[in-house]
């Protein structure tokens, strides 16, 4: 089983907040002691952070769950619960986060240190000391801790490389990268030997180097999912320079010119802008075939990874193109699409006719309240009224006796309530 994983699932779960405490001062000789229940601690959040020392998403393949710690409960004498530490989940640079259901891109973590909130921890509940007022001198209720978010994502890794090797299976890509860098890909004389991308650092001289990626072989129809195409075409997206490697011996029956046509067609079908990238057309295995046997094919370089023919001129040309592309194109900025959240209140009608109240503050008002306590229930009712929940329900056309749902809580609507 490969140790390189470039697509996997992640379940991020924020920690639950601790509950607030109901407590009253009981010291002797203290008149009108009053409430002194402390607040619960907040739950930890789950953050994704790009780390250059992480090579793939292997750590999520068999263990996709990442769960932050819970906050502790508040105590008497005004003692607040401890807030749990956030969980930092390290992912490779170039990780793309998708919504598990819709596939929508939520975040791209491109550079070391880029960080994104995957699951927010629940807030701690307030202790009864927080509810002391002129009208409420002895509040006998506190808030429950808020539950942390639990969300499934799909993670996808798109490699960063200065130069991407693009070619048919057995075109000699793995042999080339093994010759010009320290990469040690699997090399054999059958198609699809390379099943995972390989990265290698190519050192041109003491002051010039670039990263080269050996992309698994593409065939006709790759942009539609044939072979391993769609699985690995995404790794070409962020390469600054493309190297089309053509097999001059055409051992599979396709001429070098036809190979180039198919490769460019597949890249264009996948992402048209890839055809505008700086590129070099290279013929491989020049030690096997004489130049007069190439036909009308025009290549920038004809190389032999076995004898080393033309490798140095090729590397200098690639280094020049990488330097030019680096100057023209600014570094990739962090690209984040936040999950939309709304601070307001809205009402939707569910399939069974019940009215669902949406809005973080409204849902928290119910979730944090101890609805078995009359004082807490009354406090939640007043809070919902202030948030405009009753008005929103009336605007939605609710009638006496209709069911209302707020979070996990459901009740029958009454006008006097």
Query: For residue 231, what pLDDT is reported?
Result: 60
Contact status, residue 297 vs residue 246, Cβ threshold 8 Å: yes
> Is residue 338 included in any domain, yes or no?
no
> Domain check: are 71 and 205 in the same one?
no
| Per-residue pLDDT tens over the stretch 303-357 | 888 888 889 999 999 999 988 887 765 444 444 444 444 457 888 888 888 888 8
The tokens describing 329, both together, are: 């194109």
Contacts of 120 (CB under 8 A, 6+ apart): 14, 45, 148, 149
User: Which among 276, 297, 328 is the end of a domain?
Assistant: 328
SS3 assignment, position 203: strand
> Domain check: are 203 and 107 in the same one?
no
> Is residue 341 included in any domain, yes or no?
no
Report pTM.
0.66
Task: Give the dihedral of Cα atoms 166, 172, 178, 184; nearest 10 deg.
Answer: 90
pLDDT above 80 for 28: no
Higher pLDDT, 105 or 160: 105
pLDDT above 90 for 417: no
| Per-residue pLDDT tens over the stretch 50-99 | 988 887 788 888 899 999 999 999 998 889 999 999 999 999 888 889 99
What mean pLDDT, rounded, does the chain reach?
80
The tokens describing 178, both together, are: 């093994």
Of the pLDDT bands very low, low, confident and very high (cuts 50, 70, 90), residue 4 is low
pLDDT above 80 for 399: yes
Query: For residue 113, what pLDDT is reported?
Result: 86
CATH code where residue 360 lies: 3.30.300.350
> Domain check: are 142 and 167 in the same one?
no
What domain range includes position 174?
Answer: 163-328
What average pLDDT does this structure show over 152-174?
84
Range with the poorest average pLDDT among 176-190, 244-258, 361-375: 176-190
As to burial, measured by CB atoms within 10 angstroms (0-12 exposed, 13-18 middle, 19+ buried), residue 166 is buried
| Per-residue pLDDT tens over the stretch 204-215 | 888 888 888 887
> Domain check: are 2 and 127 in the same one?
yes
Q: Give the residue carrying structure tokens 């002691």.
A: 33
If one counts the domains in the chain, the total is 3
Interatomic CA distance for residues 202 and 284, integer angstroms? 18
Interatomic CA distance for residues 11 and 136, integer angstroms? 43
| Per-residue pLDDT tens over the stretch 278-310 | 999 998 888 776 666 655 667 889 888 888 888
Range with the poorest average pLDDT among 106-110, 119-123, 178-182, 196-200: 196-200
Higher pLDDT, 6 or 34: 34
Specify the DSSP element, H or E, that contains 151. strand 150-157
Query: For residue 194, what pLDDT is reported?
Result: 44
Of the pLDDT bands very low, low, confident and very high (cuts 50, 70, 90), residue 218 is low
> Domain check: are 55 and 122 in the same one?
yes
């Amino acid at each position: 089983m490969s140790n390189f994983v470039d697509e996997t699932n992640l379940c991020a779960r924020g920690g639950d907040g601790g509950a607030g405490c109901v407590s009253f001062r009981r010291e002797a000789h203290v008149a009108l002691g009053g409430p002194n229940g402390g607040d619960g601690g907040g739950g930890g959040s789950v953050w994704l952070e790009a780390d250059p020392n992480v090579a793939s998403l292997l750590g999520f393949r068999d263990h996709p769950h990442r769960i932050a710690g819970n906050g502790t409960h508040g105590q008497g004498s005004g003692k607040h619960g401890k807030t749990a530490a956030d969980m930092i989940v390290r992912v490779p640079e170039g990780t793309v986060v998708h919504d598990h259901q819709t596939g929508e891109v939520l975040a791209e973590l491109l550079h070391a240190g880029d960080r994104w909130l995957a699951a927010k921890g629940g807030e701690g509940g307030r202790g009864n000391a927080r509810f002391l007022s002129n009208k409420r001198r002895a509040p006998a209720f506190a808030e429950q801790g808020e539950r942390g978010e639990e969300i499934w994502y799909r993670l996808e890794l798109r490699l960063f490389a200065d130069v991407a090797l693009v070619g048919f299976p057995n075109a000699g890509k793995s042999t080339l990268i093994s010759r010009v860098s320290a990469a040690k890909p699997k090399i054999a004389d059958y198609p699809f030997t390379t099943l995972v991308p390989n990265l290698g650092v190519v050192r041109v001289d003491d002051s010039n180097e670039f990263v080269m990626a050996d992309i698994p072989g593409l065939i006709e129809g790759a942009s539609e999912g044939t072979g391993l195409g769609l699985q690995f075409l995404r790794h070409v997206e962020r390469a600054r320079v493309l190297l089309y490697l053509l097999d001059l011996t055409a051992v599979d029956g396709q001429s070098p010119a036809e190979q180039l046509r198919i490769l460019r067609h597949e890249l264009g079908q996948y992402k048209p802008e890839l055809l505008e990238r700086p590129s070099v057309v290279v013929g491989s295995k020049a030690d096997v075939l004489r130049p007069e046997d190439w036909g009308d094919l025009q290549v920038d370089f004809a190389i032999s990874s076995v004898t080393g023919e033309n490798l140095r001129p090729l590397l200098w040309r690639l280094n020049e193109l990488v330097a030019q592309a680096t100057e023209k194109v600014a570094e990739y900025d962090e690209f984040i699409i936040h999950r939309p959240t709304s601070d307001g209140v809205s009402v939707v009608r569910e399939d069974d006719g019940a009215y669902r109240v949406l809005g973080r503050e409204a849902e928290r008002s119910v979730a944090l309240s101890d609805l078995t306590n009359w004082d807490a229930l009354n406090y939640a009712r007043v809070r919902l009224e202030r948030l405009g929940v009753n008005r929103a329900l009336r605007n939605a056309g609710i009638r006496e006796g209709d069911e209302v749902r707020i979070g996990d809580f459901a009740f029958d609507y009454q006008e006097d309530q």
